[in-house]
Structure 1
Amino acid sequence: MNALMDNAELQGLIKRCPPEIYRQLEIKHVGTGEILFFQGETPRFTYILLEGNFKSYHCNPLGAKYFIAILYPGEILGEVEGLESLPYCGTLEAIRDSTLLVIPHAVYEEWLRQDVNFSLYVYKVLCRKFYSLVKKSAEDGLYPLKYRLLNLLIYLHGENGAGMPVQKELLVETLGSTPPSIERIIADLTAKELIECRDAEIRVLSVDGLNKELWLS
């Protein structure tokens, strides 16, 4: 459970976790590029992301991907499908080495019943997730590509930590645009020395500069 101890709020929840529930929790490690679960699969577990990141996407019958979200530590995965006995609505793929807390569905439901603090934590996580999805849907329909790319770069830079690279492929998938369109904007930002791009990885050089571009776009 060492990975769990890095999150103060989750640490407190685990300390208050009933012993019969704690004994049934497990830790799972998923490597970069590995799939946690596929769209359409029958859920068996609920997961809490402790370390790392996942991307969530939905595929149509022809294989085209619709990006849903990037998931960060503290988020709960598969909770809706598990509680409602529904197939997973999307595929979850690790975009860096990740560690998860694995909770059997029956145990997850019992934890919710017994621990009001855990229930409140889950409620807050779901509210943040819903807010983010509504915001993304609005921005996808109303804002130009450059605005959305700048906004995403600033967001990922803040979440990943200063100096951490962003994968160019992730930008293409997330924004649902063509590589040439993304490349033109990246080339412009590189020429202005706001970012640098090497080996398909993008590093932010000036967050202030990106914010200025954001409000001008």
Structure 2
Amino acid sequence: MSPDYYQYLDLKEIPKGEHLLLQGQQLTQVYILLKGKVRTTHITSNGSTHLYSISSPLTLIGEVEFMSRQDVQNDVFAMTDCECYVIDVIRYRDVFMKDLVFMTYICTTIANRIHVATQNFSISVNFPVENRLASYMLAVEQGDIVEENFVEVAQMIGCSYRQLQRVIKHFISLGYIEKVKRSVYHILDRSALEELGEDLYFT
């Protein structure tokens, strides 16, 4: 954005586990992710949760709703402690709509978002569970540790929990990962997962 608009930014820390956006609510803030990692998911009318993307800095969050003036389309969840610049949409939407630099960036971001959503949908539909799980683990790991609710992971990557457990056990038998404790795994062979998960769930 143009330097004149920096005055409208607030710096905010968002702890792990907190939502930045909630599906169905009115958009009140747009976020510029500076540190950390967030996950974007969509809950369908039948209650299924689908993974859209996992985002790292620098990522704009809420740009589609900013432009469309519609309610929030997806849940955005802090997977780690995050730091963001925040734009108050209620107070400053019209101000930022006049910034050509910012609006150009939003258009570029939305185009990229469509590309990523298409790619991630292709991964979920066309790739075996082994590839999807490897991709997901690489996307969410922190220091080679993956700590997740794997019932939710199964939903997000489009398979049954039983299928997911079979693949996890297979990865353990091959020495790709080891179980640390319930819902926590340590990546032992990163290169093997990278070979399986060449197409990652990233923005």
Quote the residue 2:41 is aligned against. 57
Equivalenced residues, count: 194
**Structure 2: gaps of 5 or more residues:** 199-203
Please tell me the root mean square deviation across aligned C-alpha atoms, in Å: 2.6
Q: Is the 8 A contact 2:50 2:157 kept in 1?
A: no
Change (3 A) 1:176 1:167: farther
Quote the residue 1:93 is aligned against. 77
CA deviation after TM superposition for structure 1 residue 26, in Å: 0.5
Quote the residue 1:166 is aligned against. 146
Quote the residue 2:27 is aligned against. 43
Can you list the C-alpha shifts for 1:170-203, whole angstroms capped at 9, x where unaligned?
Answer: 6434313222211211111111112222122223
Q: Percentage identity across aligned positions?
A: 21
Q: Is the 8 A contact 2:43 2:74 kept in 1?
A: yes
Structure 2 counterpart of 1:184, which letter? R
Quote the residue 2:99 is aligned against. 114
Quote the residue 1:4 is aligned against. none
Change (3 A) 1:185 1:27: same
CA deviation after TM superposition for structure 1 residue 103, in Å: 0.8
Superposition misfits of 4+ residues, deviation over 6 angstroms: none
Quote the residue 2:176 is aligned against. 194
SS at match of 2:156: helix
Q: Is the 8 A contact 2:52 2:121 kept in 1?
A: no
Larger RCO, structure (CA 8 Å, separation 6 or more): 2
Structure 2 counterpart of 1:167, which letter? E
The normalised TM-score by structure 2 is: 0.80
CA deviation after TM superposition for structure 1 residue 65, in Å: 1.9
Quote the residue 1:143 is aligned against. 127
- Larger relative helix fraction: 1
1:207 alignment partner, one of 177, 185, 190? 190
Change (3 A) 1:203 1:121: farther
Task: Determine the C-alpha separation between the residues in 2 that align with 1:166 and 1:98.
Answer: 18
